[in-house]
Amino acid sequence: MTKSVTYNDFSIGKDKRKNPSVSEANRLLELKNAFVTTGKSLRKRPGSVKITDLETGTKGLFAANGKLNTFYEDGSITHSNSLCVANLVDHGSVTTPVKTTHSMDVVDGFPYVVIEYDNGDIKHHYLDGSSPTRITDTNCPNTKSMVKLAEKVFSVGPANQGVVRYSATANPRDWTTASDAGFIATNRFQQGNEDPEALGEFKKSLVVFHVNGAQLWTVDPDPKLFVRQQGIPGASTRYHGSIAPLSSDLFFLSDSGIRSISELQLTESLSDFDVGSPIDEDVKALLPPAEEPISLFYHKEGEFWCAIGSTVFMFKLSKAAQISAWSEYRYPFNIDAMTELDGDLYLRSGDTVYRVDENVHTDDGIPIDSVIQLPYTDTKKPGVNKQYTGMDAVVSGTVQVSFQYDPNDPTLETEAQDMTGDTRVGGLTPIEVGTTNISPLIRHTADEDFELAALQLYYETLGIG
């Protein structure tokens, strides 16, 4: 008697924690260049459109005051694209090009940006119209990681001091005024005299990351009201650019993978949560990266993006739809900077700026190779041979479907067959695979929208293999 198995709930996304032979149907072995929708189907990721090639000499990409801001050190640069504005951030002592941008925020309506130069120097700049733009207060630490909180700017202190420094209230140029600007000696609460590595914000509190844990601080315009709330053992990162919020959590990249700080609503306690464990294997394969990983919260779509070179790990969370799913996006270019402006996400690679566009299905003409691999199924009859005789699919676009049939040898794969639309209204597509376990693979490269809503396999039970 012919039986069937149906895949139509992909809510967990990519999850490689379990052995492929025992993983549930909604935990995907591969989800490349596709994502889980709120309807729990799988859809091709948005493409990207080149909007401009920037004039040479600038670095960074930061949305502020309705523009995409870039930064340069010497001379005069004007971008021909009116959406982009180049900002002079002179070093002050030598002429040396901007190497990269680190932390950025808007403080009282003006960009505050941390610049690293080719000679290795790091300087803080406040683009409020004053000259020079750089912070000249000698107590400004001029380190990579900064965060705006409680009307102050906080930054990790210089090396070997074990402190976090902060500016005066409503004055990011003042890091000296007594009883207003100053420092937090976070090393007093760590083992040894350890320097802070990075800063973040969690529920209006300051998170200070050390190499072996984090600290949570209540901060206020009045430093007398600063209070250390608690430590968070195990929450550590060396990648300050990877810290970004999602919903009420704070995500960051650790040496173990992507993690988060999350408040457990029932116990009101804090924990270091291994939200990224489903993709640990893939993330750790890219560490340590050649360049600083960068992350952001894509407000329009409610997504966390972490870019490491040309790879983006995207986490989609929808409590209403009960979706918490990872995807892996591969781009044909390295991502040097990301920013969101007026609901659009922009990517910078070298001197080229791209806009992510859900209505585009290539990366500026380069095909997007979407790959989905479902886990091996034994139809709850392990060790029993089945003869798979046909399949149906509900898809938009035309996909190629093939099968791996030996968990011990993933190189064994059937020839791919095209499937278009809702094939259930016609005759089923014949296949001929005899195996105990089967893993479907779906590929799509065409310049068109693609969505997989369901895949159904038909089989007959043969007996013990």
Residues 308-332 have pLDDT tens digits of 999 999 999 888 778 889 999 999 9
pLDDT of 64 higher than 90: yes
CA dist., res. 66 & res. 342, Å (int)? 8
pTM (predicted TM-score): 0.95
Instruction: Band the pLDDT of 295: cuts 50, 70, 90.
Output: very high
pLDDT at 348: 98
For residue 454, the cross-strand partners are: 394
Of 212-216, 263-267, 397-401, 442-446, give the lowest mean pLDDT range: 263-267
Listed in sequence order, the DSSP H helices in 72-114 are none
Closest to 57 measured CA to CA, from 83, 87, 102: 87
**pLDDT tens for residues 93-116?**
999 999 999 999 999 999 999 999
Asked whether 238 and 293 are in contact (CB, 8 A), the reply is no
Give the type of residue at 10. F
Distances (CA, A) of 434 to 4, 64, 378, 394, 461: 14, 59, 12, 24, 10
Helices then strands, counting H and E runs in the chain, come out as 1, 40
Instruction: Band the pLDDT of 262: cuts 50, 70, 90.
Output: confident
Q: Is 66 exposed, middle or buried (0-12, 13-18, 19+ CB in 10 A)?
A: exposed
Task: Find tokens 């585009």 and name the residue.
Answer: 360
* Greatest mean pLDDT among 18-27, 44-53, 258-267: 44-53
pLDDT at 1: 75
